[in-house]
Structure 1
């Protein structure tokens, strides 16, 4: 009878973990490095927006959340015991959800960007300027861009009337419509051409209440807002029954475009779920 050459269990003092060298191990480390870089970029962008660009909301903090998420994911990928402790089905589910979310985000962003350079024909019956934050010092940057674009159109089309639309927020000294009216009058626009809607608090209300001041089925209307906001604004206008509506896009800070695009994607999803689009 042959002698068993296996080491008795009671004499084995160490457990040796072999480093797996199969497919995917190298990718994990490369992926972790990429995620750490992305985390740093997101955190720097969050801090930069918060310190140097004035906003009426705190949405930019989402970049800090994304950065923290990327850093945590990278940490998991580089810690073998944690990575292999997570069940395989959870790995697959998580990756599938992330990929599906990225695909959906790209589709929505494509629709938003499609209206970045919207232009309108001359001779519209009405221009609607959608409201944005009004500060104690005057219009916010995004609202000023809308107003200046509207002034260009109104000067070129003296028969066109303008509706300034926007109520007063908790952090605003006056209603957005009142501020816009004064800005246009200072720029030389005849007060008789200006109609004021000062009850709305969001884009949908802007277009619902402004629609009560004109004939949505007959009048030609140009909606003026910033480029990142134009797709949603036009979709809501058409949903509200504006039969002859076009958009005229105004610009914004180039550095804030990523933040605006991401925030607007959430806005599109929200309004879609609320059946506003």
Structure 2
């Protein structure tokens, strides 16, 4: 009888029983599932680049690291006892850093996409082709795209000279400049129009040493590189005193676009910290 007075029979169906696991558990499980899916995708992408594109650069391994990070985070989210051992301030700091990092990445990628389809006006004094890996079989895919785009411009502008820029890496049979010069000559570009800079090892040096072959304050210059690399290349060129510079973007292998975009974001941060931008 006492129980009837406390909870009337007609209202007993409205009694709500709370899940003893606590609030927010379902949301955390959904977050963990998303992280596990992301981990699998990143791991597959890492393997895909390694198998189908090759090892021109080992940066693609970062996707394996991201996969491990996501899997570990997802595992923590599904183990409440593990979470409780982590001080709250550490958890909050971690979330803040992840959020700040994602925001910075979005800003950088927006800057990169801003120059993705750069086009140059006709009649430039010089074209500078930035170097990339030269293999025993010829130019790498990204370098071939740069060369072919430059050839289009040079054929349409017969008075324009071209500077091929790039030294010889430890895994290259010849300097990038030498390989590019031969490629252009084979494509019908007059060797007298081709100037070679074969001492540089990175983008900043490409533009510093190439600048010694022309007048940076007076000559009009078109920088040819891949779309994902264009923002950083132009920013460095302007920092080095090129007053009349434009970009001419070439494409790249579709599978590597995410990898290239992420790598460029790191490149921008590195060059900013080195005062190259």
Are positions 1:230 and 2:230 aligned together? yes
Cross-structure match for 1:243: 243
1:79-158 equivalences under 5 Å are: 79-158=79-158
Q: Deviations over 1:20-50 (max 9, x none)?
A: 322x222110000000000000000000000
How big is each residue's C-alpha offset from its partner over 1:73-103, in whole Å with a ceiling of 9 and x where there is no partner?
0000001110111111111000000000000
Q: Which runs of 4+ in 1 moved over 4 A?
A: none
> Equivalent residue for 1:9?
none
Q: How does 1:1-277 map to 2 (within 5 A)?
A: 19-22=20-23, 24-277=24-277
**Secondary structure in structure 1 of the residue aligned to 2:171:** coil
**CA-CA distance at 1:188 after TM superposition:** 0.2
Deviations 1:116-170 (A, max 9, x none): 1000000000000000000000000000000000000000000000000000000
SS in structure 2 of the partner of residue 121 of structure 1: coil
Residue in 2 aligned with 1:5?
A: none
The 2-side partners of 1:261 and 1:21 are apart by: 41
In the superposition, the TM-score normalised over structure 2's length comes to: 0.92
Give 1:208 deviation, angstroms. 0.1
Distance 1:205 1:234 in 2: 13
State the secondary structure of the residue aligned to 1:169.
Answer: coil
Gaps of 5+ in 1: 1-17
**Alignment RMSD:** 0.8
Task: Give the TM-score normalised by the residue count of structure 1.
Answer: 0.92
How many angstroms apart in 1 are the aligned matches of 2:168 and 2:49?
Answer: 25
Distance 2:199 2:159 in 1: 26
Q: What is the CA–CA distance in structure 2 between the aligned matches of 1:109 and 1:47, rounded to whole Å?
A: 24
Over residues 153-196 of structure 1, what are the superposed CA-to-partner deviations in whole Å (9 max), with x where a residue is unaligned?
Answer: 00000000000000000000000000000000000000000000
User: For 1:91 and 1:236, how far apart are their aligned partners in 2?
Assistant: 38
Give, in whole Å, the separation in 1 of the partners of 2:76 and 2:54.
Answer: 35
